[in-house]
Every structure is written in C-alpha cells, then in structure tokens.
Amino acid sequence: MNKLIMENGKIISCPSGIKIQEIDSTLQIECCCDFSAELSFKKNFNMPILFLVQSGVKGEVFEYYEMGEKISYTYQLASFSELSLEVFSNSSKQNVQRIVYLKEEGASFNCKLATIAFKEEIYQYFIYHEAPFTKSFIRNHGVTKEEGKIDFQVSNFVKKGCFHSVVDQKNRIVNFSENLCTIKPNLFIDEYDCSANHSAYIGTFKKEEMFYLQSRGIEENLAMQLLLKGFLKEGMNTYFTQICKIIDTYWR
Amino acid sequence: MDRLKIVDLCVEIDNKPILKNFNLEIKSGEIHVIMGPNGTGKSTLTKIIMGDSNYHITRGDIYFNDTLLNDLKTDERARLGLFLGVQLPMEIEGVTNADFLRTALSIREKENFKLYPFIKKMEQTVEKLEMKKEMIHRGINVGFSGGERKKNEVLQMYMLEPKIVLLDEIDSGLDVDSLRIVGTSIMEYFEKNKPAILLVTHYQRLLNYIKPHFVHIMKDGAILKSGDALLALEVEKEGYEKVEKSKKTSTCIVKDFINHE
C-alpha cells in the first residue's frame, strides 16, 4: 500500500497518489489512491491539516503524539471513500479538533483514540453527515493520571434526507486524578431513517473486575495494569508497545 | 494433605448478617456439595473464602492448613492454591484469556514458567472442553455464551491447578451436553489432582457426573443438615422443607463430616 510518512508536519515519504501542498496556511493532503499514513508529532505543530479523500479511496491513518498542543484537522470524504484513524496520545497537553464532512453517499469515517493524560486534554469532533448511507464510528478511550483531565466532545449532525446513515460514538474515561473529566455526546439528527448510538462512561474499573483477576492470583497492581492495557488497546492494531511501556512505568 | 477449615464464622454485609456461626472442614480428596434455598448465603460463602472485600467478617476464622486467611488479600489466597469458579463470570474487554492466564501462571511459577508447555496445555484443555480455539485469544468471556463462560472457568481451573476448588453454581445455564462436559471434566480433575472441592448447586443433575462425599443443606447462613449423596436425591424428590423437618435417616446417612477420615 502507498505510504505517507510525516513527522511534525515534515514529509518523510509521500506516494505519487497523494498530493500535499500548503494553501492559505493550511496543509492540504489530497488522497487519490488507497493509502496508509503515519503522522507523528514530537514537537509543537500548529498548522491546520485538511484531508481531501477522493471517491472510492480507502485510507488508514496512524497518529502518534508526544507533543502538539493545538491541532486542527478537517476531513472531506467523497462518495464511498473510507477513512480509518488510530490515534495514540502520550503528550503532556493536548487540544485536537476534528471536523469531518461526509459529503457524498457511502462515505465512512472511523476513529479510535487512546490517550493517557497527565495534563488537560480536549478532543472535539464535529461530524457532518451530508449524504445518505454515510457512516461514522468514534471510539475514545482515555486514562488520566497525576494532573490529568480529559474532555471528549463529540457532535454528530445528520441532515434531513441522509437516510440509512449510521452514527456510533463510544467515549470512556478511567479517571485516576482528582480532576473533573467531561464527556459531551451530542447527536443532532434530522432524519428518521438512520441508526444512532452513543455511550459514555467516566469512573474507575469495577471492583468485580479486580476481584476476578485477583482471584486467579494476580496482584492488585498487575491486575490494574492488565485492565488498563486492555482498555487502551481494545480495538487498536498499533501502538501496543508504547501503551504498555507507559502503563508499566506509571502503574507499578 | 491440604485442608480448608471454617470455624464459627459470622459475616455481615451492610450490617446484615449473612453467615451465622458457620463451620465446615474440607480436606484434599473430598468433594463437598452445598445445597439450599435461594438467599441462604451459599454464593456468599464462596466469595468470603476467596476474600471478597464487600463482606465483613465479624467473628470466626478461615484457615488454609495452618494459615489464617481472614486478613489475606484475594490474590494471596489464590496463590496459596484457592480457586473460585464464579456463578456469573464477567466480561473483561481487551484482556485476552491467554494474556490473563499467562500472567496468573507466570506470577505463581516465576522463573519456572515456560511458554511452550503453557500453550500446549491450554490447547489440549480447550479441546477437551470442546471450546473454540479462537476463544483463548478473545477478551475474557467477551461474546461467550453462558455455557462457554462456565467452560472457561473450568479451563482456568485446569491451568492453575488449585488445591482448594470452590465452584459456585457451575451447572447453571448449561445445556445437557455442556453439563456432561463440565461435570466429567471437573471429576477428571479431581481424580487426577485430588483437590478439596466445595460445590454449590441447586440441582442433583450435576451430581450424576460429580460424585460427592458429603452433601450439606444450608439455610439462613448455617448448615442445617449433612449427609452423603443420597441427601441430594432426597432434596430433589421432597424439597428443602420436608428434608429439613424429616427425622428419618434411612435414605440419608447423616455423618459427622468434621470427624470423617
């Protein structure tokens, strides 16, 4: 598969089916062929990024953050295009906004995010279903530690006439800090013939889960590590090593 | 010879007494069955033995051999060799069965833990229990049917090789085939390893496969009556109330299980 690699906004490799240019202080990435992209941010990068995904194109994007205080993404998906994101954040502070336009029939956007927050982190999504048969799946799993605070704001908009659209958002925060975390799931739906689900949870792991693991001889801290790794890794295909390393360091 | 001994145990939850001067002794090579009406404290008993912190011991002691368990944590009790097969095994997303068991075994066996024999044994046991192979790589009990969850409990028992096995309604929700597989597997484990088994059940049907040495009838947090396997048959035929009132011992040979050799 064609692979795009970018570090802190700098292009390391770019396949021919992807055109990247800077227009009006925005980094525009036009995807004309199926692709895989690795974006990593180890320094602050503030330029907005616009993904234009052409008809029928399937793309997967892997994002890794060690830094990146404020980043804004816009996605425009044409007919029957599919974009899947896997995001892992290990930054000290984070504010990410994603605006998704599912502009034509059959466009699909899928985002799985795992984060361990040591400071304040805000993740905002605005997902506009503008055509029938469009789909969006958002899964945010976050864990706070020390001064960590997480705010998930996910807003879906389904216009009238966007029948057979699917909206699904799951947001969970396991809070180990004393700060207040928030989840704001908003579903603005003006079409009867669509499917919409959301779930939100802020808390800790269930006592019964810990008891079950400990009843097999697993010590409390290891049981917690297992649950945390499972929680953050669930549904993800990448970043296992990074997730495990942080958990093994901070939940000893 | 290992021994679990419960002496004058009184337990409360939210100031409500659950167990009242409960006494029981189980030794290696013995199978004890506890039966009784709903809400008499049978499941609670198994959780208390395993150290569930929701319950508060107000009096009495639980010993594993010479070790007092009262103040030991759940994981410490498990590492001594206690195992609880729960009535409603819970789903834990993201933690696979394989990871979970490997972690549990590697803690217990430390540097003696070997990955290849672990995988081999797990595959053999999965086959024996007629489970699907892919289940070991799925989240703990995620998407499992009621029967598959119970088999998963038995799989864990085989892998961890406990000395004291507590099984809480391991037969509930099982179809006839699964009941046979689970029942015969537990009995095979017993015959091979000779652990002490404490089995909580409502139905005699499980005892077609698992042959108990003692059957106890529990009511209001204490043992009312003890006997051999025939007592379970009598309960099935007559119901708890009649058995409780019955003085006859012709079909129910009441034994002093504490003094049993």
Task: Spell out the domain ranges in chain A.
Answer: 2-204, 206-252
Residue of B nearest to A141 (CA): B94
Tell me which chain B residues have a C-beta less than 8 angstroms from the C-beta of A234: 93-94, 139
- Per residue in B72-102, is it b (16+ CB within 10 Å) or e — as a string? bebbbbbbbbbbbbbbebeebbbbbbbbbbb
- The residue to which tokens 């029957």 are assigned: A80
Sign of the C-alpha dihedral, residues B228, B67, B192, B205?
Answer: positive
- Count the neighbouring beta carbons within 10 Å of the beta carbon of residue A95: 16
Q: Which domains are delineated in chain B?
A: 3-90+164-259 (3.40.50.300)
Cross-chain Cβ contact A218/B103 below 8 Å: yes
C-alpha B149/C-alpha B144 separation (Å) is 6
B193-198 mean pLDDT: 97
Residue A68 pLDDT: 66
Which conformational region is residue B161 in: left (phi greater than 0), alpha (psi within -120 to 50 degrees), or beta? left
What is the spatial distance between Cα B8 and Cα B16, in angstroms, rounded to a whole number? 17
CA torsion sign for A214, A219, A220, A224 is negative
pLDDT score, position A1: 65
Q: Given this model, what pLDDT does residue B241 score?
A: 80
Whether A43 and A75 have beta carbons less than 8 Å apart is answered as no
Rg (CA), chain A: 19
How high is the pLDDT of residue B257? 41
Of A209, A156, A207, A208, the residue nearest A185 (C-alpha): A156
Give yes or no for A227 touching B (CB within 8 A): yes
Asked if the Cβ–Cβ distance from B79 to A227 is below 8 Å, we say no
| CB-facing half-sphere around the CA of B120: CA atoms within 13 A | 4
Q: In the predicted model, is pLDDT for residue B251 greater than 80?
A: no
Give the closest-approach CA distance of B77 to chain A in angstroms: 7
Say if CB A188 and CB A156 are below 8 A apart: yes
Q: What 3-state DSSP class applies to A160?
A: coil
Residue in chain A lying closest to B156 (CA)? A216
Give the mean model confidence (pLDDT) for residues B119-144.
Answer: 92
Helix, strand counts (H, E) of chain B: 8, 12
Distance, CA of B184 to CA of B129 (rounded, Å): 10
User: For residues A129 and A165, is the Cβ–Cβ distance under 8 A?
Assistant: yes
User: Other CB atoms closer than 10 Å to residue A189's CB: what's the count?
Assistant: 16
pTM comes to: 0.87
Quote the CA–CA distance of B17 and A169 in Å, as a whole number.
44
| A residues 121-160 lying closer than 8 A (beta carbon) to B | none
Query: Which pLDDT belongs to residue B188?
Result: 96
Spell out the alpha helix ranges (H) of chain B: 42-50, 74-80, 97-109, 115-128, 146-160, 176-193, 229-238, 240-245
Question: Quick one: pLDDT band at residue B243, thresholds 50, 70, 90?
Answer: confident
pLDDT recorded at residue A22: 92
Q: Which residue has the higher pLDDT, B14 or A251?
A: B14
How does strand A18-23 pair with strand A26-31? antiparallel
Chain A nearest CA to B95, separation (Å) = 5
User: Nearest CA of chain A to the CA of B107: how many Å?
Assistant: 7
Task: Look at B90 and A212 and tell me if their CB atoms are within 8 Å.
Answer: yes
* Predicted local distance difference test score (pLDDT) of residue A251: 79
CA distance A71 to A95: 6
Measuring CA to CA, which residue among B204, B209, B258 is closest to residue B233?
Answer: B204
* Three-state secondary structure call for residue A206: coil
Q: Which helix (H) or strand (E) holds A123?
A: strand A120-129
How near does any CA of chain A get to the CA of B54, in Å? 9
State residue A237's pLDDT score. Answer: 86
CA quadruple B15, B17, B21, B22: dihedral positive or negative?
negative
pLDDT truncated to tens, each residue of chain A (252 aa)?
678 999 988 889 998 889 999 999 999 999 999 999 999 988 878 889 999 999 999 999 999 988 767 889 999 999 999 999 999 988 777 899 999 999 999 999 999 999 999 999 999 999 999 999 999 999 999 999 989 999 999 999 999 999 999 999 999 999 999 899 999 999 999 999 999 999 999 999 999 999 999 999 999 999 999 999 999 988 888 888 888 888 888 877
DSSP state of B41: S
pLDDT in tens, B154-187: 999 999 999 999 999 999 889 999 999 999 999 9
Bridge-based pairing state of the strands B92-96 and B139-140: antiparallel
Q: Please judge whether A214 and B73 are an interchain contact, meaning their C-beta atoms are less than 8 angstroms apart.
A: yes
Are B84 and A207 a contacting pair at CB < 8 A? no
SS3 label, residue B92 = strand
* Token pair of A38 as six digits: 């690795």
Could you tell me whether strands A82-89 and A108-117 are parallel, antiparallel, or unpaired per DSSP bridges? parallel
Which helix (H) or strand (E) covers residue B37, if one does?
none
Q: What is the value of ipTM here, to two decimals?
A: 0.90
Query: Residue B247: pLDDT above 90?
Result: no
Q: Rounded CA gap, B73 and B162, in Å? A: 17
Could you give the 3-state DSSP secondary structure of residue B180?
helix
